[in-house]
Amino acid sequence: MADTDGIKEAKMFYTDIPQKTEGFFLKGSNSLDWGMKNRLARIFNPVSGRTVMLAIDHGYFQGPTTGLERVDINILPLVPYADTLMLTRGILRSVIPPSTSQSIVLRVSGGTSILKELSNEDIAVNIEESIRLNVCAMAVQVFIGGEHEKESIINMTRMVDIGTRYGIPTLAVTAVGKDMARDAQYFRLACRICAELGAHYIKTYYVDDDFETVTASCPVPIVMAGGKKIPELDALTMAYNAIQRGAAGVDMGRNIFQSEAPVAMIKAVRAVVHDNETPKKAFELYDTLKAEGNRY
Ligand code: R5P
């Protein structure tokens, strides 16, 4: 029998206070479902609206990249300072502790190596795996202008369709082939196509000229790709410029884990992304932390 004795009469109705409906903090994401928004809010910090993603997925097409030979030794010490890890299921299962609280963006496209045509990718992870691994987004490479442009776009739209069914966002990664021009016109084209076809956010490269037109013409958040290793001050300057010109964060790999002092570098990147620190100040922070021994 239901225990109904002593139930107090409900009276806290606050009839004079309308229920608040909170808008969502991420560009172009307000119409998404609760699960999608919740996952995006684990990638992007709701306070700054930005993210520091640590990209360590390089091995899926180029094997043990410099700095990633031993993820357990070189990368685990960086994890606490990243908002999100971008990696493959192989490294996630074999090396990353399940107690990790950082959100996971899972690389789901693949099937090629540096020995062959890179744009010839397929979807290499099924949706059940992404659900099982509790990931916050799935990353798919899109090769606009590449030999297998259409297949790579369709890979992305397939993941958008399947991910939407389960509330998992899709990150489109705009890949530049060897011969493609890296300019704002190209990245406007690539990012806009990905967004129009449903990507929930987009990773793209920074360009000095007109980067703000790339972010302005893309209706969903853009995170800046790191690219090949450059001096720390230059990498911090690039991240600063990207953020100030409309990027909602960074997804950096080699410029962090190939740094002389990776922990110091990721902390400096965080200062630029989340605190709007200038490149000069962030570099001073890097230098100080490095001198204090913040290598690992
Ligand atoms: C390729 O496009 C992949 O996403 C990379 O494996 C990785 O994310 C690139 O990171 P970074 O260029 O910053 O080393």
Q: Does the beta carbon of 177 sit less than 6 angstroms from any atom of ligand 1?
A: no
pLDDT of residue 295: 66
The stretch 186-200 carries a mean pLDDT of 97
For residue 259, pLDDT beyond 80: yes
pLDDT of residue 4: 67
Q: Does the beta carbon of 200 sit less than 6 angstroms from any atom of ligand 1?
A: no
Q: What radius of gyration, in Å, describes the C-alpha atoms of the chain?
A: 21
For residue 6, pLDDT beyond 80: no
Angle at 134 between CA 82 and CA 79, to 5 degrees: 20
pLDDT of residue 67: 95
pLDDT of residue 293: 80
Query: Tokens 């099924």 label which residue?
Result: 126
Contact yes or no for 218/195 (Cβ under 8 A): yes
For residue 290, pLDDT beyond 90: yes
Confidence class for position 22, pLDDT limits 50, 70, 90:
confident
For residue 176, pLDDT beyond 90: no
- Is 290 tagged catalytic? no
Distance separating alpha carbons of residues 267 and 256, to the nearest angstrom? 10
208-255 pLDDT per residue, tens: 999 999 999 999 999 999 999 999 999 999 999 999 999 999 999 999
Angle between helix axes 232-244 and 262-275 (nearest 10 degrees) is 20
Helices (H), 63-200: 71-74, 89-95, 127-132, 149-166, 184-196
For residue 144, pLDDT beyond 70: yes
Nearest to 230 by CA among 283, 191, 267, 183: 283
For residue 102, pLDDT beyond 90: yes
Distance separating alpha carbons of residues 38 and 131, to the nearest angstrom? 14
- The residue among 234 and 8 whose pLDDT is bigger is 234
The stretch 248-269 carries a mean pLDDT of 98
Q: What H or E segment, with its residue span, contains residue 144?
A: none
Distance separating alpha carbons of residues 239 and 53, to the nearest angstrom? 12
Q: Which of 52, 56, 57 to mutate to test the pocket of ligand 1 (most atoms within 8 A of CB)?
A: 57
Residue 109 CA, distance from chain mean position: 15
Express the helix, strand and coil content of the chain in percent, nearest 5 each. 40, 15, 45
Q: Look at ligand 1, atom 10, and give the residue with the nearest C-alpha.
A: 253
Catalytic residue among 8, 11, 203, 281: 203
Residue 59, amino acid: G
Contact yes or no for 236/282 (Cβ under 8 A): yes
For residue 296, pLDDT beyond 80: no
pLDDT of residue 272: 98
Q: Does the beta carbon of 252 sit less than 6 angstroms from any atom of ligand 1?
A: yes
Average confidence score pLDDT of the chain:
95
- The residue among 8 and 37 whose pLDDT is bigger is 37
For residue 1, pLDDT beyond 60: no
Confidence class for position 137, pLDDT limits 50, 70, 90:
very high
Distance separating alpha carbons of residues 82 and 78, to the nearest angstrom? 7
End-to-end CA distance of the chain: 61
Distance separating alpha carbons of residues 249 and 239, to the nearest angstrom? 8
Q: Does the beta carbon of 140 sit less than 6 angstroms from any atom of ligand 1?
A: no
Q: What H or E segment, with its residue span, contains residue 235?
A: helix 232-244
Pairing mode of beta strands 122-123, 109-110: antiparallel
Question: Which atom, in ligand 1's list, is nearest to the CA of 227?
Answer: 12
pLDDT of residue 7: 73
Global pTM value: 0.94
Confidence class for position 72, pLDDT limits 50, 70, 90:
very high
pLDDT of residue 179: 66
Rounded percentage of the chain residues whose pLDDT exceeds 90:
90
Contact yes or no for 89/129 (Cβ under 8 A): yes
Rounded percentage of the chain residues whose pLDDT exceeds 70:
96
Q: Where are the beta strands (DSSP E) in the chain?
A: 51-55, 84-87, 103-107, 109-110, 122-123, 137-142, 170-174, 201-204, 222-225, 249-252
Contact yes or no for 266/54 (Cβ under 8 A): yes
pLDDT of residue 181: 78
Query: Tokens 């509330």 label which residue?
Result: 167
Q: Does the beta carbon of 227 sit less than 6 angstroms from any atom of ligand 1?
A: yes
- The residue among 176 and 66 whose pLDDT is bigger is 66
For residue 178, pLDDT beyond 90: no
